[in-house]
Amino acid sequence: MKKMSKTTRSNLITYLMVIVIFAVVQIMVSTGHVSSLLQGLLVPLCAYVILAVSLNLTVGILGELSLGHAGFMCVGAFTSAFFSKCAVEAIPAAGVRYFLALLIGAAAAGICGILIGIPVLRLKGDYLAIVTLAFGEIIKNIVNILFIGRDDKGFHFSTKDSMSLGLEEGGKVIVNGPQGITGTPKDSTFVVGVILILVTLFVVLNLMHSRSGRAIMAIRDNRIAAESVGINITKYKLMAFSISAALAGVAGVIYAHNLATLTAQPKNFGYNMSIMILVFVVLGGIGNMRGSIIAAIILTLLPELLRGLSDYRMLIYAVVLIVMMLFNWSPKAIEWREKYSARFRRKNGKSAKEAA
Amino acid sequence: MALLEVNNLGISFGGLRAVNEFHLKIEKGCLYGLIGPNGAGKTTVFNLLTGVYKPNEGVILLDGENIVGKKTIDINKAGIARTFQNIRLFKDLSVLDNVKAGLHNHYKYSTLEGIFRLPKYFKVEKAMDERAMELLSVFDLDKEADTLAANLPYGKQRKLEITRALATEPKLMLLDEPAAGMNPNETRELMETIRFVRDEFHMTILLIEHDMKLVSGICEELTVLNFGEVLAQGDTSDVLNNPEVIKAYLGE
């Protein structure tokens, strides 16, 4: 029973942390302490936080290395942007449209997760990482050669160019290959982003502390033993992987509905991005959701905050990365932290007793 | 009818005949030992019984039902649970969660009920906690319920593995060298635990062991395996006095 309350408290702290950060940022924005450049970064930041948390589900809870997370984000971004652009006249209410876009983006990415997961989750470790890396690149490249247009007759597809769509007069090109999707309604806001972060946390944390989460973590810790107590390995691996993919799709939806023009470039949907997300996860602590959030925030804001230092910017960024990594993972630092937190706890316990 | 009946079981790895014409009959409630020199094929027999390997030929009847060709998880559901020679716990889960993982197929709610914390989640989790604590207290592990499994001392890790196997509510338990790496005191305690499990849970137990004191102390019947074949079978005292068995163990 005590255990229950401990995890519940830890979860509440995580939710609270997000809400407090949100409140602080909102106050700073309204008092004019945040540059417009940084304000523009707030919505992508929400997407990155969700990506970090969802990848942590694969890496920390399932224990498999995935390097294709940006690919799932890409699927979510393009399917939802495609939907929103098509439905902009049919569903004028932005809230309803955005909600549907979220469902579609998450479902599309989740289905991709299942399709990729069925063959790929048989692989382990490095092999899985390489296949997912390839998946991410393939998705990005497919999007870049995809042309979709719509006229009175319906949808037209092509992989050549927009001319070969053969649209009638009045027809519109929706997905224009390397030029991507232009004119997606900008429905994503910081508030919506934060709500979706909370929803993501809710799903991931509750999953972790349920029967299914226990099964997933049992598989991570010892596959053979998990099988011997009757846990269905394939089912739970696939479940964790596809939920992780669907949440990455949600991040994609947020990202897509914040841009005037959505294009698939190496910068936003390539392996650079996948590795960036992995850095958030590793830096924040594998399996530690709160750490992922903090790492994602710091590492997204840092390059912008250091902009004044121009040339030294990336140098400092790299140094901060190394220092954070040392602080989080070196045995000496862990020892020091544990000692410190134990002393802190003892002190707290004492004062609580005195108060009683 | 015997609980477990194995006939003509055999498997080859490449050119190596690991197990040949193995046969075994275990009555319900029996404490049965499987012994033999290193490399005799004892663990291979366990892996055949639990579906890790598929036999080339033979039948394994559990309660009259042939389980050859079934998957490991289905064999567990059919009623065989096991422990491992090199301990395989869920290291980063708490002791309590290790046992709850063992309860996985007996206390159910859907993933969505878990994520959205519907009433069934609380009800089933509570029942699971109670059942797991009950099992843990039987093995005197209840005080360590919140400890990470990896942080338990060695002897308790062995006990936890047995608890986890019991949680799956098996008809037959396979213990692979439960006393490996234990000192004489711990071994004695383990013997009591195994006997206790048999009496308290009316369990049928098949164990592999090298420790002759343990084997002669608790096993009622024995099968001796040598080079993948059954060398002797029967009551413990008869088997251990069999000149063939003494030869296999001590040489000529």
CATH number of the domain encompassing residue B74: 3.40.50.300
State whether B143 and B102 are in the same domain.
yes
State whether B127 and B245 are in the same domain.
no
pTM of the predicted model, to two decimals?
0.89
State whether B62 and B176 are in the same domain.
yes
B49 interfaces chain A, CB cutoff of 8 Å: no
What pLDDT does residue B245 have? 85
State whether B1 and B115 are in the same domain.
no
Over residues B143-191, the pLDDT tens digits come to 999 999 999 998 899 999 999 999 999 999 999 999 888 888 888 988 9
State whether B175 and B73 are in the same domain.
yes
Nearest CA distance, B147 vs chain A (angstrom): 10
State whether B227 and B249 are in the same domain.
yes
Nearest CA distance, A3 vs chain B (angstrom): 7
Please identify, among B137, B168, B199, the residue that sits at the C-terminal boundary of a domain. Answer: B168
Among A1, A212, A227, the residue with its CB nearest the CB of B111 is: A212
Which residues 219-238 of A are in CB contact (within 8 Å) with B? Answer: 220-222, 224-233
B198 interfaces chain A, CB cutoff of 8 Å: no
State whether B180 and B219 are in the same domain.
yes
Q: Report residue A26 as tokens.
A: 């909102």
Residue numbers in B near A287 (CB within 8 A): 92
**How many domains would you assign to chain B?**
2
State whether B74 and B99 are in the same domain.
no
State whether B180 and B244 are in the same domain.
yes
What pLDDT does residue B117 have? 93
Please identify, among B168, B189, B214, the residue that sits at the C-terminal boundary of a domain. Answer: B168
Reply yes or no on whether the pLDDT at A348 is more than 70.
no
**Topology of domain A2-355, per CATH?**
ABC transporter involved in vitamin B12 uptake, BtuC (1.10.3470)
B89/A221 Cβ within 8 A: yes
CB pairs under 8 A between A and B: 102
Burial (CB < 10 A; 0-12, 13-18, 19+), residue B27, is middle
What pLDDT does residue B183 have? 87
B111 pLDDT tier (thresholds 50, 70, 90): very high
B88/A206 Cβ within 8 A: no
Please identify, among B124, B149, B168, the residue that sits at the C-terminal boundary of a domain. Answer: B168
Name the residue range of residue B130's domain.
90-168
Task: Spell out the residues 6+ positions from residue A204 whose beta carbon is closer than 8 angstroms to its own.
Answer: A53, A54, A56, A57, A61, A243, A247, A289
State whether B145 and B180 are in the same domain.
no
Q: Is the ipTM of this complex over 0.90?
A: yes
Chain length of chain B: 252
B50 interfaces chain A, CB cutoff of 8 Å: yes
A214 interfaces chain B, CB cutoff of 8 Å: yes
Phi, psi values for residue A194, rounded to 5°: -65, -40
Among A3, A212, A231, the residue with its CB nearest the CB of B73 is: A231
